[in-house]
């Protein structure tokens, strides 16, 4: 069998592949058309972030069995296209965690003590001591948005620097935060109290532009901003305005919307320390992820062992046909729920309960539950896969409760997922109608039959005449085609839910128009 390594990989990783008895070709810098022309000859493809494994390239890979990503993020791999072809997509979560966290601390210190400017002056032969007065971080408040693995590394290092650490993350419990010596607060508290703010969330619809004009208006004057997560979480234009206005004293940015930037205004700003996406660029990190992905690919090709797969839970081949529909339904339910509750919520998630009824209780529910948790956490963390999802839930102090009953109620089979927060609960019920017919049949108190796929608008509104028609009119005027429409009602309260499947992504300005419709209570877009 043949393996193609299309991005730079540590020699130690390449050696593991060769010792596994495989033919290994290292061809970096390939253009998309060049990769497409040769990929059909290979059984495995190993990439980092440069190669884009698009649907076209995956389709051309007629012999591909596995795509390995030496790193956590797989946004450069079309996992859906790989899944359709039965190709396993693996990543190496955790390999870059320490490195990225340390880079955020390094940027914070560089920014605070004007180290890049001082070095530049010295190389010009200038002794500019007075102009480069810095600050101490001891006793200052660091606000961390997102307390995943990288955020946890940053918090521990900041505590060692004697900083006060406050955190916003709706997916960890207050008890867990307090056990680590940090304070769990609201997003507005982060803005109001922090001397430094660092971002460690994935880039989702909810977090894109999370820190923009409104957020900057709530911050302490003289705050420092750090972003080693994803470009676009911070509105770059709004950050430049805040820097110019003196609201933000300085920013340290490792990631940009476009890389390399098309507009260099932010990177070249005199109050900015900029690095070219170096968060994962250390010798140790690259060695770690290279060794890990090489071992995983060899183990899969030789022994059929799947580790750290982002698109394939571990199920025996003979049981897969029976379990697969439930696995797919559960993951879609998790994705739906994760996007509905969103990143920016004030309530803390405490418990996830999953109940299987009827025929759903008769299958191996372990991989089904894992799929549901992966879908849910995928909305708030980059490093989630079928292997680590339960552990990540536990790390965040969230309880998981499963139960089954063979008793059938309205449907012959159901999976019910309930999320319990500090205040209130949210629930979702799904059912397998047929092998390729998966439905969401209840959302909280609303009975409804929804096909969970593609671009979906989830609209809550007052149940009054003409309301749904106004939504349709706005979409039609924007040239957005409605594929399906589903309705659920609560006659007692006079409210309704409308789920609209559309053919294309809905622009933000159209979503804003929908939200302004009289009787609209909330409008969200969910992508599955």
Residues labelled catalytic: 230, 259, 277
Three-state SS sequence of 32-86: HHHHHHHHHHCCEEEECCCCCECHHHHHHCCCCCEEEECCCCCCCECHHHHHHCC
- Between the CA of residue 287 and those of 94, 97, 294, 385, what are the distances in Å? 13, 13, 11, 21
Among 101, 93, 43, residue whose Cα is nearest residue 67: 43
Q: CA-to-CA distance for 376 and 338, rounded, in angstroms? A: 5
DSSP letter at 156?
Answer: H
What are the Cα distances from residue 240, in Å, to 106, 217, 243, 249, 403? Answer: 22, 13, 5, 11, 52
Q: What is the 3-state secondary structure (H, E, C) of 174-242?
A: HHHHHHCCCEECCHHHHHHHCCEEEECCCCCCCCCCCECHHHHHCCCCCEEEEECCCCCCECHHHHHHH
Phi and psi for 457 in degrees, rounded to 5?
-100, 130
310 close to 79: Cβ distance less than 8 angstroms: yes
Q: CB-based contacts of 492: which residues, under 8 Å, 6+ apart? A: none
**Terminal-residue alpha carbon distance, the chain:** 34
Alpha-carbon gap, residue 211 to 233, rounded angstroms: 6
3-class secondary structure, 414:
strand
Choose among 390, 398, 405, 444: nearest CA to 421. Answer: 398
Round to whole Å and give the CA distance between 385 and 389. Answer: 6
- Say how far apart CA 57 and CA 67 lie, in whole Å: 12
For residue 269, with 0-12 CB atoms within 10 Å meaning exposed, 13-18 middle and 19 or more buried, which class applies?
middle
Alpha-carbon distance 368 to 371, whole Å?
A: 5
Phi, psi values for residue 201, rounded to 5°: -120, 160
Contacts of 493 (CB under 8 A, 6+ apart): none
Q: Which helix or strand (DSSP H or E) is residue 477 part of?
A: helix 467-477
Q: Is the separation of the CB atoms in 367 and 313 below 8 Å?
A: yes
């Amino acid at each position: 069998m043949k393996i193609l390594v299309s991005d730079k990989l540590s020699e130690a990783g390449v050696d593991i592949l060769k010792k596994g008895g495989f033919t290994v070709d290292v061809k970096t810098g390939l253009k998309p058309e060049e990769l497409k022309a040769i990929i059909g000859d290979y059984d495995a493809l190993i990439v980092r972030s440069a190669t884009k494994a698009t649907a076209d390239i995956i389709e051309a890979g007629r012999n591909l069995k596995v795509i390995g990503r030496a790193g956590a993020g797989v946004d450069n791999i079309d996992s859906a296209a790989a899944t359709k072809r039965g190709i396993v997509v693996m990543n190496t979560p955790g390999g870059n965690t320490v490195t990225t966290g340390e880079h955020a601390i390094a940027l914070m210190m560089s920014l605070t003590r004007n180290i890049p400017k001082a070095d530049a002056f010295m190389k010009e032969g200038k002794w500019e001591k007075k102009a480069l007065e810095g600050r101490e971080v001891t006793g200052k408040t660091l606000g961390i948005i997102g307390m995943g693995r990288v955020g946890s590394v940053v918090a521990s290092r900041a505590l060692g620097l004697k900083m006060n650490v406050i955190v916003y993350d709706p997916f960890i419990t207050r008890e867990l935060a307090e056990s680590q010596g940090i304070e769990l607060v609201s997003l507005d508290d982060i803005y109001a109290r922090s001397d430094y703010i660092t971002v460690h969330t994935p880039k989702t619809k909810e977090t894109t532009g999370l820190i923009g004009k409104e957020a900057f208006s709530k911050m302490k004057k003289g705050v420092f901003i750090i972003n080693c997560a994803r470009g676009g979480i911070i509105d770059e234009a709004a950050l430049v305005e805040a820097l110019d206005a003196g609201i933000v004293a300085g920013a340290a940015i490792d990631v940009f919307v476009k890389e390399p930037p098309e507009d260099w205004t932010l990177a070249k700003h005199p109050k900015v320390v900029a690095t070219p996406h170096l968060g994962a660029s250390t010798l140790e990190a690259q060695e770690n992820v290279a060794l890990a992905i090489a071992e995983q690919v060899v183990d899969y090709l030789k022994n059929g062992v799947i580790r750290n797969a982002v698109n394939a839970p571990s199920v025996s081949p003979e049981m897969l046909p029976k379990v697969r529909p439930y696995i797919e339904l559960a993951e879609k339910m998790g994705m739906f729920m994760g996007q509905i509750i969103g990143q920016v919520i004030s309530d803390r998630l405490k418990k996830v309960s999953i109940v299987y009824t009827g025929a759903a209780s008769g299958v191996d529910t372990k991989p089904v539950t894992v799929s549901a948790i992966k879908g849910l956490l995928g909305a708030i963390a980059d490093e989630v896969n079928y292997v680590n999802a339960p552990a990540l839930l536990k790390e965040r102090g969230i309880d998981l409760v499963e139960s089954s009953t063979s008793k059938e109620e309205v449907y012959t089979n159901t999976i019910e997922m309930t999320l319990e927060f500090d205040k209130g609960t949210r629930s979702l019920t799904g059912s397998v109608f047929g092998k390729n017919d998966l439905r969401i049949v209840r959302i909280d108190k609303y009975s409804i039959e929804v096909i969970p796929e593609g671009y979906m608008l989830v609209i809550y509104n007052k149940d009054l005449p003409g309301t749904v028609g106004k939504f349709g009119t706005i979409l039609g005027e924007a040239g957005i085609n409605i594929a399906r429409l589903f309705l659920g009602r609560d006659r007692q309260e006079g409210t309704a839910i409308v789920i609209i499947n559309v053919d294309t992504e809905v622009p933000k300005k159209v979503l804003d128009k929908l939200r302004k419709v009289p009787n609209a209570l909330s409008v969200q877009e969910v992508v599955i």
